[in-house]
Amino acid sequence: MAVNLSFNQNLLPVAGIRLATLNAGIRYKGRDDLLVIELAEGSSCAAVFTRNAFCAAPVTVSRSHLASANPRYLLVNAGNANAGTGEPGLAAAKACCVALAEAGRCEPEQILPFSTGVIGQQLPVEKVVAALPNALANLKEDNWLAAAKAIMTTDTIGKAMSKQITVGGQQVTITGIAKGAGMIHPNMATMLSYIATDAQVDPNLLQSILNEVVEETFNCITIDGDTSTNDSLVLAATGQSGAVIDASNCADFQQAVQEVCMYLAQAIVRDGEGATKFISIIVEGAKDRAEARVIGNTVALSPLVKTAMFASDPNWGRILAAVGRSQIDQLDVNAVTLWLGDTLLIEKGQPVSSYREELGQVEMKRDEINVRIQMGRGSASATTWTCDFSYDYVKINAEYRS
């Protein structure tokens, strides 16, 4: 079960966006595994993709298409990653684009394909193509809930959020969905996510906003340290509300987009494979933000820290060991102070006399745990969100292809 997370049912339609889901039989039985998102003509799009060099075929195609045309459709399948599939995989992704373009009366370059699922298996193009006519016939503005479910793989719950703000007297809606539970690590962060707004935003400004927001949200989460082959996040702006976002008024809009992305990013961690704890690693007093991120990631990625969290074992030595190996130049261990929740464990490198094991046990038994590390090196800070490693994490991944 996800940690303190429920499926958000209060999703708002976005003018200029229609969605349809279908069971194409790609991998799963009894559930939808194909999503088509239609964008109103003239919509602008921004996107970020995986930095994994072994990226999936749809990532390669989407990058190319986004650089050459304004997208009209996003095509997403679950159950098959179309990664590690070589030239046939690229041909398959392009064939799906051609088929949807013909049915949707647009150019193939206006289709952005996305896939998630098992790596190394060829995409069953014929199943995707056969499902497209029915998908186009069932496009609806209020299909966001079904969309959130259709893109799931090992997720136990759909991840979705809506937010509304007022810009220049016009109401602006932002709705987003995401999937992800394993292969999650900063470097764009591993997942698929689709966010849309009815505001009008220049593509360059939209991309700038997305880049900044991702650094504060999706790039601050990690579950297992594995950067996927298929990471993709799209932010689309249809311009249907009449609200125009520009450099002079984009602050509130960017904050709203960041709130949606923060919810979705943290929802991925809360639904981490086998997760029982939601953990915030808060690093303070670093020389700069990059250093704080390195320290936070090192602690968050430590299998020994994560398994101790699962066991509710206040073995704080594992945290200090992770800090010590975080490859920070001239680290002064006598400047480090450590808290578990509100319980002070280490002050300037020394165990505090007031600490007792039972105090740490109380903090570790919580399902949401804050680890705060004061480095005493400067004024920069950063937070990394992660989860524990349980028996179920091994089971889920050991049985993933069975």
pLDDT score recorded for residue 314: 94
CA 197 to CA 258: how far, in whole Å? 13
pLDDT score recorded for residue 226: 74
pLDDT score recorded for residue 402: 58
Chain centroid, CA 127 distance in Å? 27
Q: For 252-304, how does the pLDDT look when each residue is reduced to its tens digit (9 = 90+)?
A: 999 999 999 999 999 999 998 889 999 999 999 999 999 999 999 999 999 99
DSSP category for residue 65: H
Instruction: Collect all residues with Cβ–Cβ distance below 8 Å to 330 and sequence separation of at least 6.
Output: none
Low-confidence ranges of the chain (pLDDT < 70): 183, 186-190, 400-402
Backbone angles phi, psi at 235, to 5 degrees: -120, 115
* 60 in catalytic set: no
- Domains of the chain and any CATH numbers: 17-270 (3.60.70.12), 278-398 (3.10.20.340)
Among candidate residues 239, 246, 231, 261, the one with its CA nearest the CA of residue 162? 261
pTM higher than the cut 0.75: yes
- The H-assigned helical ranges of 105-166 are 125-137, 144-150
pLDDT score recorded for residue 223: 84
pLDDT score recorded for residue 190: 52
Widest distance between CA atoms in the chain: 72
Q: Which of 190, 337, 343, 386 is catalytic?
A: 190
Above pLDDT 70, what percent of the chain? 98
